[in-house]
Structure formats: structure tokens, C-alpha cells
Structure 1
């Protein structure tokens, strides 16, 4: 049940995120659907390749594809005056997707009895992989590669689940809420990781 709920939350959040960015970049309707789908399922596809799950498993998620398509359609039909608040709500949807998919990826790898390193990688790739592909296709610098704190929260999910600190469904939902809140706080208050600039004379 936890797996399905987190999958649904992450799918809707990232599909909406991808669709809104596509509209910001003035993509046509086909581009909006493609970017929304890629954002929703890109991270899971990359994770599956790296932890040994057949790629064909992605196509067995018929219900989630329908949910993603419905979410994208709703966003596409929204009045423009509601969508202009993207900077506020887009980051929030992105935070929800990061949290839900990072936990989902960590659970997936943990259930396959992978080592802690693989669980952390699965959490990071599932949580941020779709966003990376989305940003690259939209011609933007991926959030996860900037100094802004983003993938750190996915790593935290992987560690807590990998070391069995959090196991029960209630604890997982609390982790989801906590990670979402931390991501919102980190972009609201502009928390950043250390950065080193190279100046070439």
C-alpha cells in the first residue's frame, strides 16, 4: 500500500512539474505530454537499469501512465492566470515528487536485498533522475547538479531506509512529509552546498 501511494503521489507531482516547465518553454501539446511523461518515469527507468530490473517492468505500470496523462491534461487545460504561480507551486510539486520517489526507490532496492550503497543510489536516481532528464530536455541546468540542496534529501531517505531506521508504513509517511518539508525549506531559505569557482585568467 505504501509503495502504491508513494508511486501515485510521485507520478502526479513529476508529471505536473514536467508539463508546466514544457509550457514555460512554449512547447506544443505533444511536447508537453512527452516532457511530463519523461519527468514522471525517467528516474524509475534509470534506476531499473542500474539495479538489475528489466526495462520492460516500466510498461507494466499502465495505471500510473493513465494517472500521468490525466494529470498533464488537467494542467494543460488550467487557466493561464493560475499557472503563472509556477515558481511557487512548481517547486512544491517538485519537492513532493523528489520525496515520494526517493523513498519509493530506496524501498525497491531494499526489498531486493541490495547493499546500502545501491539503496542510496536507487533513492537518488528515482528521486531526481526524472527531473534531470526534464531539465536537460528543457535546456536548463539540472537542479541536482547546482549548489542548491536537492539530492541530499534523497540520500537521507536512502540511508534511513537502508539502515532500517525507518521500516513501518507510518514511519515512511512521516519521512515523506519530513523530506518534502525540508526540500521546501531549503529552497525557500536558499540553503546551498559549498561551491568552488574556478577563475581562469
Structure 2
């Protein structure tokens, strides 16, 4: 049950996130659909490649594609006076998608009985991979590579699930809320990881 819930939540959140970025970049309708679909499914495709699953397994998720297309269509048809305020919530949908897909990716790795390192990588790539592809196609610097904390939260989700200390749907739903809130706080409060700049003398 939890797997299906996180799949739906992540698909809707990232499909809208991709559509929002496409509309901000003034892409046409086709571009909006492409960026929305890529954002929703790009992370899963990258994850499958690295954990040894065929990318073609994505095509078995017909219902998820239908949900993504419906979410993009509804968002595109929303009145302009509602969409123009959506940028305030853009980071919220991204945080929700990150959290839901990070947990889903980690669950997938655990189900395949992969080692802890693979579970963490699966969580990060599933949670952040679609956003990376989205930002690259939109000509933006990927969020996960910025100094603000982003991918770390996905890695934390992967670590906790991979250790299998806690189990059950209640833990997974609680973790989803915690990761989402932490991602929002890291953005609104400008939490960041240490950076080191290199300056070369001319």
C-alpha cells in the first residue's frame, strides 16, 4: 500500500514541478508535457540503470503515466491568476516529490535485497534524478548541486530504510513528512552544506 501511495504522490508532484518549470521557460504545450513526464520518471529510469533493472520496466507503469498526464493537463489549464502564484509553492511540490520518490527508491532497493550503499544511491537518484534532468533540459543549474541541502535528505531516507531498524507503513509515512519538512526548512531558512571556493591567481 505504501509503495502505491508514494508512487502516486511523487508522480503528481514531480509532473507538476516539471510543467511549472517548462511554463516559466515559456515552452509550448508539447514542451510542458515532455518536461513534466521527464521529471516524473527520469529518476526512476536512472535508478533502474544503476541497480541492474531494464529501463523498459517503466513502461509497465501505464497508470502512473496516465496520472502524470492528467496532472500536467489540469495544471496547464488552470486559470492564469492561480498559476502566477504557484511559484510560491514550486519548492513545496519539489520537496514532496523528492521525499516520496526517495522513499520509494529505497523501498525498491530493499525489496531487491541490495546492500545499504545501493539503497542510499537508489533513494538519491530516484528522489533527485528527475529534477536533475528537468533542470538540465531547462538550462538551469540542478538543485541537487547547489549549496542548499537537497540530496542529503534523500540519502538520509535511504539510510534509515536500508538499515531496516524501523518498519511498517506508519514509519514510512512519518519519514515522508519529516523529509518534506526538512527540505522546506533547508530552502526557506537557507540551510547549506560547507563549500570551498578555489581562486587561482592570474
- Give the TM-score of the pair, scaled to structure 2: 0.98
Is 1:86 the equivalent of 2:92? no
Deviation at 1:86, TM superposition (A): 3.2
Deviation at 1:79, TM superposition (A): 1.5
Is 1:74 the equivalent of 2:74? yes
Where does structure 2 lack aligned partners over 5 or more consecutive residues?
none
Query: 1:183 maps to what in 2?
Result: 183
Moved over 4 A (4+): none
- Give distance in 2, aligned partners of 1:162 and 1:16: 29
RMSD over aligned Cα, in angstroms? 0.7
Q: What per-residue deviation string (whole Å, max 9, x for no partner) do you get for residues 101-136 of structure 1?
A: 000000000110000000000000000000000000
Q: 1:200 to 1:80 in 2, by over 3 A?
A: farther
Deviation at 1:166, TM superposition (A): 2.6
Is 1:135 the equivalent of 2:125? no
Deviation at 1:84, TM superposition (A): 1.7
Query: 1:42 maps to what in 2?
Result: 42
Is 1:4 the equivalent of 2:15? no
Query: 1:145 maps to what in 2?
Result: 145
Number of residue pairs matched by the alignment: 201
- Give distance in 2, aligned partners of 1:99 and 1:158: 10
Where does structure 1 lack aligned partners over 5 or more consecutive residues?
none
Q: What per-residue deviation string (whole Å, max 9, x for no partner) do you get for residues 11-43 of structure 1?
A: 000000000000000000000000000000000
SS of residue in 2 equivalent to 1:95: helix
Query: 2:65 maps to what in 1?
Result: 65
